[in-house]
Copies of this chain bind each other. A is one copy, B any other.
């Protein structure tokens, strides 16, 4: 194990001072060409790399972004992450990642662990548990310490910071309108994320779309749960007892279950029942029939969040005006919904 070359070492071996070496390697005009060349070549030979930790200490900045994601196995978050990483990489930032696993405790721990000089700022989406309990004081603490936070997707109005969200309410309205326009009149709501901010917004879109179109609400065909197990029970029961001609699903599990259960119940999709859901695009296309989805542009969300954070980190003047950026969704019509002529 070769030990890493340092300025001091090079200086000694070349019989010059540390500061000369430093300046030479930074191509300072103070240093004469000959010495500069000599030092630079020697450094290359020795494979010298400046120690970033030391630089960070000096600069009081680490060029590192902390990302806290509730669940990396959820492809939406993986996509957002890829967007963050892309922008970060382009701007010379590192990304340090923690997974809260939807747990408040792990979220707090991650925040603690990184808020000690390791990172310059956070990008995060709130853990389910925190959102369910309405517990956001750990974020406020961090912000009070002067570390900027950008929240995406699952946000909290109580926390003042930059945010990137999807127009969940609008996109629900929109998706519902599409179902209604294609002659669905008895549209079920499928949600296994009723505890999340985004779930609530989408649900509101469902109700408002019905109201706007003078369709009465049928509580029998509405499933609002906060976990997959309970969802499965209720959905199975629903298929046994109710008839629907449309399903609006608020999350991936609900979307796919809607498809699978409809097929099993003998429905023809989309002739007898249309399905629209929030789900991963690649996999939705792979289903037979393919699933129409509300596409959330995950990478763009990540990119926007990273832009926002880096902009704030690099703006000298403190700008107390927090921005909330809204990324538009898109309705992807595939085979699970009827074409509207």
Give A contacts to B, CB under 8 Å.
1-4, 47, 49-54, 56-57, 62, 64, 72-73, 75, 78-79, 81-82, 85-86, 89, 94-99, 106, 109, 113-118, 141, 144-146, 256, 259-260, 263-264, 282-283, 286-288, 318
Contacts and interface: CB of A to CB of B under 8 A. Distances in A.
A116 B85 contact: no
Contacts of A117: 4, 49, 51-54
A116 B288 contact: no
Nearest to A143: B1
Contacts of A144: 2
A73 B281 CA distance: 12
Given A94-B118, A283-B283, A145 B2 contact: yes
A85 B73 contact: no
A3 B146 contact: yes
Nearest to A81: B72
A82 B99 contact: yes
Contacts of A86: 99
B73 A82 contact: yes
Among A73, A81, A95, A114, the one with the most B-chain Cβ atoms within 10 Å of its Cβ is A73
B96 A95 contact: yes
A113 B75 CA distance: 27
How often does this chain occur in the complex, in copies? 2
Contacts of A51: 57, 116-117
A312 to B, nearest CB: 11
A256 B141 CA distance: 47
Contacts of A259: 286, 288
A249 to B, nearest CB: 13
B146 A53 contact: no
Pick the 7 closest A-B CB pairs, nearest first: A1-B146, A51-B117, A49-B116, A53-B117, A256-B286, A96-B96, A52-B116
A125 B308 CA distance: 31
Given A4-B117, A50-B116, 13 more contacts: A1-B318, A2-B144, A4-B146, A49-B117, A53-B57, A73-B75, A73-B82, A94-B96, A94-B98, A96-B96, A260-B286, A260-B288, A263-B288
17 contacts: A4-B145, A49-B117, A53-B53, A53-B56, A53-B62, A54-B57, A73-B82, A75-B78, A78-B78, A85-B98, A85-B99, A94-B96, A94-B98, A96-B97, A263-B288, A283-B283, A287-B288
Among A99, A259, A264, the one with the most B-chain Cβ atoms within 10 Å of its Cβ is A99
A64 B256 contact: no
A52 B96 CA distance: 14
A292 to B, nearest CB: 16
B53 A118 contact: yes
A264 to B, nearest CB: 8
Contacts of A95: 96-98
Nearest to A118: B52
Contacts of A99: 82, 85-86, 89
A124 to B, nearest CB: 15
A288 to B, nearest CB: 5
Among A47, A64, A113, A117, the one with the most B-chain Cβ atoms within 10 Å of its Cβ is A117
Nearest to A112: B49
